[in-house]
């Protein structure tokens, strides 16, 4: 099934490829989206594919998925499936997504687009030739406060953007955290950089509407070289922290900081934009709030104001609860699932969704930062496209 979902289709069949943490987040989103949003077609969890049969069957039972498989290629070919949701480790994003696109399916893929720029390019090119639509789960775009931030920028309320600061800090417990695929460069591509900086780069591009012209310097560091596993101590081959400086298309300066070893920070995902008419800042640990400095006010009235982004006039909130009845992490996925269904049934999303072409631009920025860290030079992301 390619392009728009036909008018005779009673539902949008979803195949989940992956059963881990993201599998739960996505299964919940697809199930909840039609409960909150009025959608032309109802998403239906048709099949889930995972490596381990017992785990996959248990997942299907818990989340009420119609079928479970251990062969993702069968899920991709299933005629009941209209959209394939790729939740695998990063090294499998390309083969699953490309196969799904060639089978005429729509594809939604977890971020980053791929573990490597080469794989990301293959996915972008396949999407360009396919009839199906593509989406990438940069779910923080669907926070109402982030949506409002973008609206304020595009309404000109911040004036010309001059400086951007973005940081995503987590504390993974250092060496106490056991080995997992996220610490293996062959499977993940990178560590904190691809996992966390990918979100930051997307948020900056999304909210400002500006591309990142050049990476001006970067540092990557691995602090935990080996981690415990069932097979003994294994090498951790990804970065634990990555910082880089950049310049945006309008000349604004930007800093990006991602870390999994920032002790005391659980999920400190934040962006601050400084403009000629004002500033805004967002911190996901207070995700229902946006702080705004209005520099057009008289000096005696200026100060940081807190906007509680829970009014029905804020993006997506009208589908949920009354003002100040807070929403949480899962609602970003629910709102995105609803917007994906809108797109593939011929409607428009509330705010733009990232597709493979969009996410490839973010991947080029990540690659530019990696090359800058390893060579000490400045790198232009558009030279890597």
Question: In the chain, which stretches have pLDDT less than 70?
Answer: 1-9
In Å, how far are 269, 328, 333 from 285, measured between CA atoms? 7, 10, 16
Rg of the chain on CA atoms, in Å: 21
Of the candidates 238, 243, 226, the one whose C-alpha atom is nearest the C-alpha of residue 177 is: 226
Distance (Å, whole) CA 53 – CA 48: 11
In Å, how far are 114, 126, 287 from 368, measured between CA atoms? 15, 23, 29
CA end-to-end span of the chain, whole Å?
A: 30
- Give pLDDT, residue 192: 98
Question: Residue 156: is it exposed, middle or buried by C-beta count within 10 angstroms (0-12/13-18/19+)?
Answer: exposed
Q: What is the dihedral of CA 91, 92, 98, 101, to 10 degrees?
A: -130
Distance (Å, whole) CA 81 – CA 360: 25
Q: Are β-strands 212-221 and 42-49 bridged in parallel, bridged antiparallel, or unpaired?
A: unpaired
Percent pLDDT > 70 in the chain is 98
SS3 for 4-64, per residue?
CCCCCCCEEEEEEECCCHHHHHHHHHHHHHHHHCCCCCEEEEEEEECCCHHHHHHHHHHHC
- The structure tokens listed for 331 are 């609602």
In Å, how far are 107, 187, 194, 371 from 110, measured between CA atoms? 10, 14, 11, 23
- Give pLDDT, residue 24: 97
Q: What domains appear along the chain, each with residue ranges and CATH number?
A: 11-139 (3.40.50.720), 144-286+288-322+355-375 (3.30.360.10)
- Give pLDDT, residue 7: 45
pTM of the model: 0.96
Distance (Å, whole) CA 165 – CA 204: 9
- Give pLDDT, residue 9: 60
49-92 pLDDT, tens digit each: 999 999 999 999 999 999 999 999 999 999 999 999 999 999 99
């Amino acid at each position: 099934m390619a392009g728009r979902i036909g008018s005779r289709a009673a539902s949008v069949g979803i195949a989940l490829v992956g059963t881990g943490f993201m599998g739960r987040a996505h299964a919940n989103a697809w199930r909840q989206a039609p409960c909150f949003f009025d959608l032309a077609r109802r998403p239906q969890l048709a099949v889930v594919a995972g490596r381990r049969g017992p785990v996959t069957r248990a997942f299907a039972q818990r989340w009420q998925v119609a079928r479970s498989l251990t062969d993702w290629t069968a899920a991709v070919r299933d005629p009941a499936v209209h959209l394939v949701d790729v939740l695998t480790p990063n090294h499998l994003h390309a083969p699953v997504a490309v196969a799904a696109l060639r089978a005429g399916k729509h594809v939604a893929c977890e971020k980053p687009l791929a573990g490597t720029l080469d794989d990301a390019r293959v996915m972008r090119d396949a999407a360009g030739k396919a009839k199906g639509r593509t989406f990438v789960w940069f779910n923080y775009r669907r926070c109402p406060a982030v949506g409002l931030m973008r609206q304020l920028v595009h309404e000109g309320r911040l004036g010309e953007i001059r400086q951007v600061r973005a940081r995503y800090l987590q504390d993974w417990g250092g060496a106490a955290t056991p080995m997992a695929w996220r610490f293996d460069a062959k499977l993940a591509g990178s560590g904190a950089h691809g996992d966390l900086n990918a979100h930051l780069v997307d948020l900056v591009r999304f909210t400002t509407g500006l591309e990142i012209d050049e990476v001006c310097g970067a540092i990557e560091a691995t602090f935990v070289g080996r981690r415990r596993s069932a097979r003994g101590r294994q090498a951790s081959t990804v970065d634990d922290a990555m910082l880089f400086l950049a310049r945006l298309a309008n000349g604004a300066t930007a800093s990006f900081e991602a870390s999994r070893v920032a002790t005391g920070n659980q999920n400190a995902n934040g962006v601050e934009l400084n403009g000629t008419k004002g500033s805004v800042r967002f911190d996901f640990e207070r995700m229902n709030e946006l702080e705004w400095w209005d520099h057009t006010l008289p000096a005696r009235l200026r100060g940081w104001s807190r906007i509680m982004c829970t009014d029905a006039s804020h993006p997506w909130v009208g589908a949920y609860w009354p003002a100040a009845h807070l929403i949480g992490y899962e609602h970003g996925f629910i709102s995105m699932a609803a917007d994906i269904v809108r797109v593939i049934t011929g409607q428009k999303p509330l705010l733009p969704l990232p597709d493979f072409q969009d996410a490839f631009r973010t991947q080029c920025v990540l690659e530019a930062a990696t090359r800058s860290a390893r060579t000490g030079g400045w790198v232009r992301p558009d030279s890597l496209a």
